[in-house]
Structure 1
Amino acid sequence: MVPIALTIAGSDSGGGAGIQADLKTFSALGVYGASVITALTAQNTRAVTMVEPATPAMITAQIDAVFDDLDVRALKLGMLGGPEAIATVAQRVQGRGVPIVLDPVMVAKSGDRLLPPEALEALRQQLLPLAALVTPNLPEAADLLGTTQATSEAEMAEQGHALRAMGADAVLMKGGHGTGEICVDLLIEGGATTRLTARRHITRNTHGTGCTLSAAIAAGFAQGLPLGAAVARAHAYLQGAILAADDLRVGSGHGPVHHFHKVWAHD
């Protein structure tokens, strides 16, 4: 049977992030993707112009419909919106027996806020304890912890351990918002810390990187990969998608990464 992963996130009408990025990533990595849409967004590579949340009843119905019929092997949580949606998702996914990758989406690449500040506590209390892995970037980790953004690997590690103490099984601290020629991510699980590095590629076309990475990890879980292998493969896949992003030339703002860079190229 084909492995199945489920993404619960917002829709991106521009196609570069959210549900659309997740489904593209699942497909590129050989996983069947199912989806639960938590919000409709009107957005492109330049801005988010409108957000319309799904009702808790619709979110519940979508989750139940998928799990009632599909053999879901992994779950990715992305943009969830406000406290009501977070509470609904937490209540419906706990106890399902599948690993959960939590991408704490808070701000779009355009700078538009996607998670209201009042939803932060719900995210901390209700979703972090359910996560097999949480994948914050540096600003997201700081927001979750109520502190300043990490500026060194030591501070990244310290914040990663603090997030684990809040309930997540493991934390992937993403260093894309850092500085220097080498971008460093830290995978923190138990007493072990794994360092993943990549040369920093200067491009404006990074829309959907966080969604893509977390979805790629969930795809690995759905295929039975252990945490370290799933994260390492996802990291390599994202680097390839970023390196090929400029070839797409989609939009006039922050364009998307190239999810199918191993399948087709654009000249």
Structure 2
Amino acid sequence: MIACTIAGSDSGGGAGIQADLKTFQELGVFGTSVITALTAQNTLGVHGISPITSSFVQRQLQAILTDFDVKAIKTGMLFDATIIEGVVDVLKNTSIPLIVDPVMIAKGGANLLQQQAVRAMQEQLMPIAFMCTPNIPEAEVLTGRTIRTQQDIQAAANDLLALGVQYVVMKGGHLEGLHATDILFWKGGQFSVATPRIDTKDTHGTGCTFSAAITALLAKGFPLQEAIIEAKKFIHLAISHPLHIGKGHGPTNHFAYKQVQGKCEVMTHEP
């Protein structure tokens, strides 16, 4: 099976294109990639960004789609409105499931999405997306809401569904509590997965990795809820078996899932 990631390059290897391709590989999916921007980045932060032109992003994507039987596509850092518009122009007439991870801010605080790009994401990318996987700060930007409670999460998810995306996974890593809970929403239903919260600073690339795992599993033909459960196992194991690399927010451990044969208990709930 083949998947594609459209995202920025993380020279530190913990997030972005590098995290996506590692995740695809560990889950048995061949990874192709479209690079939207280069970053000078490590665990201490983003030290520089050099975007790729929208036309060359399109050329990369078209080259992949004319040759490979891609089963699922995810987007990560898209940087600006012209890149978003270029990606939409290529993908709008395809039927490949598109998973949008609306990457906006790096762990160190660097802005990875220009302000004018938010509207392009809302108005152009969301309507063609199969799924959106925002964390709480990203969902707040996309909806204009302050999210503190479960009711806030539900309202924000409804706002995102109203933009045209079929499914929303609200990632709960930024909330407090004993468990890290992610909730899948669709019109008329929801399904949550939870694992014990890990006290660690080594969380660089968690959002990219979780969304990439969902993408890989969908590419392999997993039913949606099973894909969410297995992706939750992947990211929990990656966080709970730290590599202790770097001086800042270290990367997650993409090796862990295979090393422990995916053994991990995930609590699920469907109201």
Q: Quote the offset at 1:45 in angstroms.
A: 0.3
Kindly indicate whether residue 157 of structure 2 is the aligned counterpart of residue 160 of structure 1.
yes
Separation in 2, partners of 1:78, 1:96? 19
Secondary structure in 2 aligned to 1:262? helix
Separation in 2, partners of 1:156, 1:87? 28
Separation in 2, partners of 1:6, 1:194? 26
Q: Which residue of 1 is the match for residue 37 of structure 2? A: 39
Secondary structure in 2 aligned to 1:198? strand
Q: Quote the offset at 1:16 in angstroms.
A: 0.1
Q: Any conservation in 1 of the 2:234–2:257 contact (CA below 8 Å)?
A: no
Q: Which residue of 1 is the match for residue 133 of structure 2? A: 135
Q: Quote the offset at 1:92 in angstroms.
A: 0.9
Q: Which residue of 2 is the match for residue 65 of structure 1? A: 63
Seq. identity, %: 46
Kindly indicate whether residue 208 of structure 2 is the aligned counterpart of residue 233 of structure 1.
no
Q: Which residue of 1 is the match for residue 256 of structure 2? A: 261
Separation in 1, partners of 2:8, 2:128? 20
Q: Which residue of 1 is the match for residue 101 of structure 2? A: 103
Q: Any conservation in 2 of the 1:106–1:115 contact (CA below 8 Å)?
A: yes
Aligned residue identity for 1:137: N
Q: Any conservation in 2 of the 1:183–1:197 contact (CA below 8 Å)?
A: yes
Separation in 2, partners of 1:34, 1:25? 12
Secondary structure in 1 aligned to 2:257? coil
Aligned residue identity for 2:80: G
Kindly indicate whether residue 68 of structure 2 is the aligned counterpart of residue 79 of structure 1.
no
Kindly indicate whether residue 169 of structure 2 is the aligned counterpart of residue 184 of structure 1.
no
- Aligned pairs for 1:193-212 (under 5 A) are 193-212=190-209
- Aligned pairs for 1:8-19 (under 5 A) are 8-19=6-17
Q: Any conservation in 2 of the 1:25–1:216 contact (CA below 8 Å)?
A: yes
Separation in 1, partners of 2:184, 2:39? 31
Q: Which runs of 4+ in 1 moved over 2 A?
A: 262-265
Q: Quote the offset at 1:264 in angstroms.
A: 5.0
Separation in 2, partners of 1:108, 1:47? 7
Q: Which residue of 2 is the match for residue 88 of structure 1? A: 86
Separation in 2, partners of 1:100, 1:59? 16
Q: Quote the offset at 1:180 in angstroms.
A: 1.4
Secondary structure in 2 aligned to 1:106? coil
Q: Quote the offset at 1:181 in angstroms.
A: 1.2
Residue of 244, 263, 267 corresponding to 1:249: 244
CA deviation profile, 1:1-38 (whole Å, cap 9, x unmatched): xx000000000000000000000000000000000000
Bigger Cα displacement from structure 2, 255-264 vs 135-144: 255-264
Q: Which residue of 2 is the match for residue 22 of structure 1? A: 20
CA deviation profile, 1:29-59 (whole Å, cap 9, x unmatched): 0000000000000000001011001011210
Separation in 1, partners of 2:259, 2:195? 23
Separation in 1, partners of 2:215, 2:78? 17
Q: Quote the offset at 1:70 in angstroms.
A: 0.7
Aligned residue identity for 1:251: G
Aligned residue identity for 2:253: H
RMSD value, Cα: 1.1
Q: Quote the offset at 1:154 in angstroms.
A: 2.0
CA deviation profile, 1:205-226 (whole Å, cap 9, x unmatched): 0000010011101101110112
Q: Any conservation in 1 of the 2:4–2:70 contact (CA below 8 Å)?
A: yes
Unpaired segments ≥5 residues, structure 1: none
TM-score normalised to structure 2 length: 0.94
Q: Which residue of 2 is the match for residue 219 of structure 1? A: 216
Q: Quote the offset at 1:204 in angstroms.
A: 0.3
